[in-house]
Amino acid sequence: MDAQSWPWPTGAATGIGSMPGTDVAEVQRIVLGELPALPHLAELPGRGPGADVIGRTAGFLVDLPVELYTGRWRVAARSGKDLRRAHDLLERDLDQLTEQADGFTGTVKIQAAGPLTLAANVDLAIGGRLLRDPGAVRDLTDSLAEGLRGHVADVRRRLPGATVLLQLDEPSLPAVLAGHVPTESGFSAYRAVETSAARDLLRIVVDAADAPLVVHCCAPDVPLDLFRTAGAVAVAFDLDLITQLDPLGEAIESGLGLLVGAIPSTLPASGVAPSAEQVADRVRTLWGKLGFPRPQLAQQVVVTPTCGLAGATPEYARTALTTAQETARRLHEV
């Protein structure tokens, strides 16, 4: 297996997506400066509705408008001001990426919520999560797949020399699979979605995207095999939540790329951020336990924060990205 097996250069680091603040020009400049090998399109949820991961992703839906109602996104009869705001915010972000990454020829990562997480967080017009209606979930997935295909094509037009890597955020997927998504009353939960059905839904997006796809899920029970068999080229996870090594070893053996969340997403309670060498030692130790060749580590693994950085201070967010890139550099040193 060589470095060309994954859509990023050896020794790469990236961010999960979200960043603190509201100044997209400044934040995108920081991302491009600190993560030259694998920058990402910055998300700034601090700007409010439409910049949050659900509202932003709902803006990609084709022929399926949404609106805000009592603080939640729900299916709407027609597009309105809430959806226009989401579109406007995304357009500003893309304009900054286009301007600041002009001439970029590496890999750039973009992010959106996955279909299961979207179904668990968007309501039907009549009430209740989309998740309650399998037909609605399939319609949502088809709509999302079409919208993300267009989004990838748009980024590709803006950065014609770049390779686009699409990340699907699926934080709700473990709860969806376990039947733990609560109903509105809170006294019961929606029926669990079968693993095979979830795989089929993810596969629809993977097949439509026309770009290599990574799935991000920061949960203790990351379904690595589900993501791999759905066609993802990589999975992003929180290293602190990994307790079983065998599934991880099987994923590496199968050729699944790993975006390893190894940098705390907020400053630790001690007030001291871990050094790049400390983080690199953790990753090397894990890799050593799994028994794979050291040179393969920097090829197959991308270093990231444990999750999005929206909850961090601007100063720490920059430190986290710097540490991630320096950690990746150290892991590249054999």
Residue range 75-116, pLDDT digits in tens: 999 999 999 999 999 999 999 999 999 999 999 999 999 999
Q: Copy the structure tokens of residue 168.
A: 């699907």
Q: Is the pLDDT of residue 236 over 90?
A: yes
What is the C-alpha to C-alpha distance for residues 121 and 101, in angstroms, rounded to an integer?
Answer: 33
pLDDT digits (tens, 9 = 90+) for 244-285: 899 999 999 999 999 999 999 999 999 999 999 999 999 999
What is the C-alpha to C-alpha distance for residues 251 and 158, in angstroms, rounded to an integer?
Answer: 34
- 174-213 burial string, b = 16+ CB within 10 Å, else e? bbbbeeebeeeeeeeebeebeeebbbebbbbbbebbebbb
Helix orientation angle between 245-253 and 276-290, rounded to the nearest 10 degrees: 80
Q: Is the pLDDT of residue 333 over 90?
A: no
What is the C-alpha to C-alpha distance for residues 236 and 167, in angstroms, rounded to an integer?
Answer: 9
Confidence of residue 219 (pLDDT cuts 50, 70, 90): confident
Q: Read off the DSSP letter of residue 71.
A: T
Q: CA-CA distances (angstroms) from residue 92 to 51, 157, 307?
A: 11, 16, 24
Residue 111 contacts residue 165 (beta carbons within 8 Å): no
Q: Which amino acid is at 206?
A: V
pLDDT at residue 2, rounded to an integer: 44
Burial tier of 133 (Cβ tally within 10 Å: 0-12, 13-18, 19+)? middle
pLDDT at residue 67, rounded to an integer: 96
Give the residue among 70, 96, 73, 97 at the shortest CA–CA distance from 85.
73
The predicted model gives 182-210 an average pLDDT of 94
Q: Copy the structure tokens of residue 87.
A: 């579109």
pLDDT at residue 98, rounded to an integer: 98
Confidence of residue 172 (pLDDT cuts 50, 70, 90): very high
Angle, vertex CA 263, rays to CA 259 and CA 264, nearest 5: 125
The predicted model gives 157-184 an average pLDDT of 96
- 49-87 burial string, b = 16+ CB within 10 Å, else e? bbbbbbbbbbbbbeebbbbbeeeebbbbeeeeebbebbe
Q: Is the pLDDT of residue 118 over 70?
A: yes
pLDDT at residue 334, rounded to an integer: 62
Output phi, psi for 28, to 5 deg.
Answer: -65, -35
Residue 193 contacts residue 181 (beta carbons within 8 Å): no
Give the global pTM: 0.95
pLDDT digits (tens, 9 = 90+) for 46-66: 999 999 999 999 999 999 999
pLDDT at residue 208, rounded to an integer: 97
Q: Is the pLDDT of residue 228 over 50?
A: yes
Burial tier of 310 (Cβ tally within 10 Å: 0-12, 13-18, 19+)? buried
pLDDT at residue 3, rounded to an integer: 43
